[in-house]
Amino acid sequence: MSRLQKIVLVLALSTLLLGGLNMWHSSGEKDSNDDENESNPTEKEAKMNAYETENYVPIQEYTGEGFTLRDANPKTGEIAEENRQEVEKAVEEFFLNDYKTEVKMHNMVSAIDGVSVFVESIGEPHFYAFAIVPIDVRNEVVKTDAVWSQEGQVESAIRSGLYVMAYEEEFARLDEFLEEIEDEYPVTGMNIEVAENTQGNGYNTPYYFPKAIFKPMYEEYLKNPEITKEELRTFLNQNGFDPSGMTWIAIRLHMNEPDLEPDAKVYDEIYEKIEKLTGVPGGGYYLILNDNYIDRRRANGEKDNTIDKTDIDAINK
C-alpha cells in the first residue's frame, strides 16, 4: 500500500475531511435521557468520564445529532437556516455545474465562517459529499455565489460511487456477507443517517465505505454523466483499472450491546472469513471493530479499545 493510500485512508477513517472549515469538535447539548436510564447506567456508562457521559451514545441510537465542527460559530448556522432555500438551491447548482451531478441536501453544520452542507447524489453514481457555503456574519449575508468544496473531496466521493456502480454484483455480494456477519456475531453497523448527515466521504453503507484512486474514471464521468454500468465497466477494463492496487474498502463494525468491549475472538473470526471471501470487489480490505458507543460530536466510534489489525497491512483481494 502506498504512502498516498495510507494518508487518504487515515483521513477518511478519522472523518477529518472537513479541514477547509476546521476539524470537528463541538459544544452540543447533552442528549436527554429518561429517568430510568439516568438512575440505572450500564456498567460501561458508570466508568465514563464527564466528556464521555455527555457525548457517547449507542450506535443504534445515533443519526448525526450533536455533530459540529471545531470552533464553529453557531451564528453561521442560524443565518443559513433562515436562508435555507437559497442555500439549498446554491449547493444543488454548484454540484450540477461543477460535477454534472444532481444532489439533495441532508444537513447544514455551522463552521467558523460558513456552513458545511452535506448532500447525497440522486441516482448513480451514488455517494455522499459536502460543499461549503461562506457566510458574512456581520452583515448576515449568505454568499450563495461563492460555494466551494475542499480540493479533491467531491472527486474522491464520485470515484467511490463509480467503483460501486461498475462492480454492482460484487458489492451486492459484500453487502450480503456483512448482513450474514451481523446475524452470526454480536456486531452491528451504523444508521445510514450518519452518512447522510455527517460523513460526506463518498459511497457509504451501514458497514463500509470504499475508496478508489483511479482518476480516469472520474474524468470519463464528467465527459459522459449518463454513462451506464456496462459502459463504465468496459472503460475500466480497457484503461488499466486494477482494483487490487487502486481501491480499498474500510469495514466499520460496532459491538451490539452497550457493555460489550470489542472482542478479539470475534474480530479474528470475521477477519478470517474476509480472507476466504470470494466474489467480492477487489482491493485492500480494512476491518475496524469498535465498542457500542459513538462520539456524537465527532461522529466517530474509534477509541483506545478499538481493534484494527489492518491499520498497516490490508487484507488484499
Q: How far is CA 41 from CA 45, 47, 55, 59, 191, in A?
A: 6, 10, 14, 16, 23
pLDDT at 16: 37
pLDDT at 49: 87
The mean predicted confidence, pLDDT, of the chain is: 89
Residue 39 pLDDT more than 70?
no
The whole-number average pLDDT for the span 194-215 is 97
Closest to 88 (Cα-Cα) out of 110, 117, 125, 130: 117
Please list, in sequence order, all residues whose beta carbon lies within 8 angstroms of the beta carbon of residue 270, skipping any fewer than 6 positions away: 181, 185, 187, 253, 287, 289
Alpha-helical runs (H) found in 150-261: 153-166, 168-184, 192-194, 215-223, 229-238, 243-246
Total residue length of the chain: 317
Three-state secondary structure call for residue 282? coil
Question: pLDDT band at residue 71, thresholds of 50, 70 and 90?
Answer: confident
79: amino acid identity, one letter: I
pLDDT at 42: 74
Residue 21 pLDDT more than 60?
no
pLDDT at 48: 84
pLDDT at 180: 98
